[in-house]
Amino acid sequence: MSMALKQVFNKDRTFRPKRKFEPGTQRFDLHKKAQASLNAGLDLKQAVQLPHGEDLNDWVAVHVVDFFNRINLIYGTISDSCTDQTCPVMSGGPKYEYRWQDEHKYKRPTALSAPKYMSLLMDWIEVQINNENIFPTNVGTPFPKCFMQVAKKILSRLFRVFVHVYIHHFDRVTQMGAEAHVNTCYKHFYYFVTEFNLTDHKELEPLITSQIC
């Protein structure tokens, strides 16, 4: 890895602090298993498949947190060029505009600048993955019935970060020499969400016709 690329993915550039798995827990072991598959050069389509005997909810939870950390880092690398002035609307090209909605301040879909949208998104995801009632960490604690629905919503919104970065900031990614890393992360994400049908096809449309996958 070049010095420039090391600087790009330095932990200090992370947009948000990383959520980590506690050593000795089942979730930690699954995370290590997933990382080992990737590091071994296993085909990404195979790497995302549910390991024999493992619980789907645990596998999805591990990947949701991992993708949050990784996409968070990717956005952090280009955040200096994503401002209210350069990106006054959170979009993925002229055909796709993403509006923010939550249970608090923005109860109706609201047009926001990309950096404002990203900040609200990362805050919202942090709340979800740190909520023990949604993402239980204790062995034996069951996942709630709403877990998969929440996971799908998180992943769909995270995909929008990829769309914005690819369409509006990929020149910055290329300038940093980070396109291979970002492409691999995108492929991993794409294969995972399609393997388990975790994102609606319409959400994938902005990048689905690209040559990335």
Can you tell me the distance from the alpha carbon of 159 to that of 36, in angstroms, rounded to the nearest whole number?
24
Does the annotation place 82 within a ligand binding site? yes
CA distances (Å), origin 86, targets 65, 81, 91, 152, 207: 29, 7, 12, 29, 21
* H-run or E-run covering 4: helix 3-8
Closest CA to 144 of 158, 128, 155, 156: 128
Which amino acid makes up residue 141? T
Is residue 87 annotated as involved in ligand binding? Answer: yes
Binding residues for Zn(2+): 82, 87, 164, 169
Binding residues: 82, 87, 164, 169
